[in-house]
């Protein structure tokens, strides 16, 4: 149990286009999800906190108009990279906080999405 | 504010040797501490976590870590390295409010030499 999926796993796009990444909690509900960004050989940097039914909270230095987050249901959050540029190329990882049961409040990570902007 | 320092971005051990990955933390409140493993192009998998209680925590794949408050450390160990242990390891800290907002260390890449 407690599986988080991301789609797509890899995406290559042209500069100036927008890309949507989905994060789903497959077998549990998550009122809170997080989006991280990981540059090569570096740690995960928290980009934003996504709360179901409300606006996302962005970390300092993250452009909210650039990285649109929507948490429309208890099992789905999406990250849209708008007008992508090569510097947005990165590994994006989401995580979901389990809302109930024995894993209450525990954070589970998705497998990541590799974005390459040409 | 909380932070994590991982000493050594790269660690090499021989197969069968002891694995020791160092982690020191800073937190203004009692911390929740975690070790995660990341294989290439994959997400993070939880190895073990410390919340409260017993300071020696056992995790998956034979790993364990000991919370030492006096040293503000949470070092990860495994008695005998296996080739499959080669990966990137991240130490992380969260405040006592829960597992939610987690701060990660910079990671340690473990190389296992046959």
Looking at residue A1, its pLDDT comes to 64
A54 touching chain B per CB within 8 A: no
Which chain A residues are Cβ-neighbours of B98 within 8 angstroms? 105
Tokens of B47: 């190895």
> Taking a C-beta distance cutoff of 8 angstroms, is the pair A38, A94 a contact?
no
- The mean pLDDT value of chain B amounts to 90
What DSSP character marks residue A91?
E
Looking at residue A39, its pLDDT comes to 83
Whether residues A46 and B101 touch (CB distance < 8 A) is answered with yes
Query: Which chain B residue is nearest to residue A34, measuring alpha carbons?
Result: B101
Measure the CA–CA gap between B112 and A75, rounded to whole angstroms. 38
B105 touching chain A per CB within 8 A: yes
Which chain A residues are Cβ-neighbours of B43 within 8 angstroms? 4, 6, 93, 109-112
Query: Which chain A residue is nearest to residue B102, measuring alpha carbons?
Result: A46
Measure the CA–CA gap between B103 and B105, rounded to whole angstroms. 7
| pLDDT block averages, 10 residues each, chain A of length 118 | 90 97 92 89 87 89 94 92 96 87 76 94
Name the stretches of chain B with pLDDT < 50. none
Whether residues A105 and B100 touch (CB distance < 8 A) is answered with yes
> Is the torsion defined by CA of A26, A8, A80, A111 positive or negative?
positive
> Taking a C-beta distance cutoff of 8 angstroms, is the pair A78, A91 a contact?
no
Looking at residue A2, its pLDDT comes to 81
Looking at residue A68, its pLDDT comes to 96
What DSSP character marks residue A100?
S
Whether residues B43 and A6 touch (CB distance < 8 A) is answered with yes
- For the stretch A72-75, contacts whose Cβ atoms lie closer than 8 Å and that sit 24 or more positions apart, written own/partner, are A74/A25, A74/A29, A74/A30, A74/A31, A74/A99, A75/A24, A75/A25, A75/A26, A75/A28, A75/A29, A75/A30
Query: Which chain B residue is nearest to residue A39, measuring alpha carbons?
Result: B106
Which chain B residues are Cβ-neighbours of A4 within 8 angstroms? 43
Measure the CA–CA gap between A93 and A107, rounded to whole angstroms. 12
Of A103, A100, A63, nearest in space to A81 by CA = A63
């Amino acid at each position: 149990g407690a599986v988080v999926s991301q789609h797509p796993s890899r995406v290559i796009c042209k500069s100036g286009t927008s890309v949507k990444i989905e994060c789903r909690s497959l077998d549990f509900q998550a009122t809170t999800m997080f989006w991280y960004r990981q540059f090569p050989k570096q740690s995960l940097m928290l980009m934003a906190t996504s709360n179901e039914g409300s606006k996302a909270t962005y970390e300092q230095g993250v452009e909210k108009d650039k990285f649109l987050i929507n948490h429309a249901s208890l099992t789905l959050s999406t990250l849209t990279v708008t007008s992508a540029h090569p510097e947005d190329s990165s590994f994006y990882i989401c995580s979901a906080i389990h809302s109930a049961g024995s894993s209450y409040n525990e954070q589970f990570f998705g497998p990541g999405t590799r974005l390459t902007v040409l | 504010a909380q932070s994590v320092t991982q000493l050594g971005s790269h660690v090499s051990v021989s197969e069968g040797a002891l694995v020791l990955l160092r982690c020191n933390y800073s937190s203004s409140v009692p911390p929740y501490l975690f070790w995660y493993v990341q294989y290439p192009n994959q997400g993070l998998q939880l190895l073990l976590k410390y919340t409260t209680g017993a300071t020696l925590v056992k995790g998956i794949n034979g790993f364990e870590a000991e919370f030492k408050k006096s040293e503000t450390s949470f070092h990860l160990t495994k008695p005998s390295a296996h080739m499959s242990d080669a990966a990137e390891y991240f130490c992380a800290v969260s405040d006592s409010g829960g597992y939610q907002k987690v701060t990660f260390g910079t990671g340690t890449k473990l190389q296992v030499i046959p």
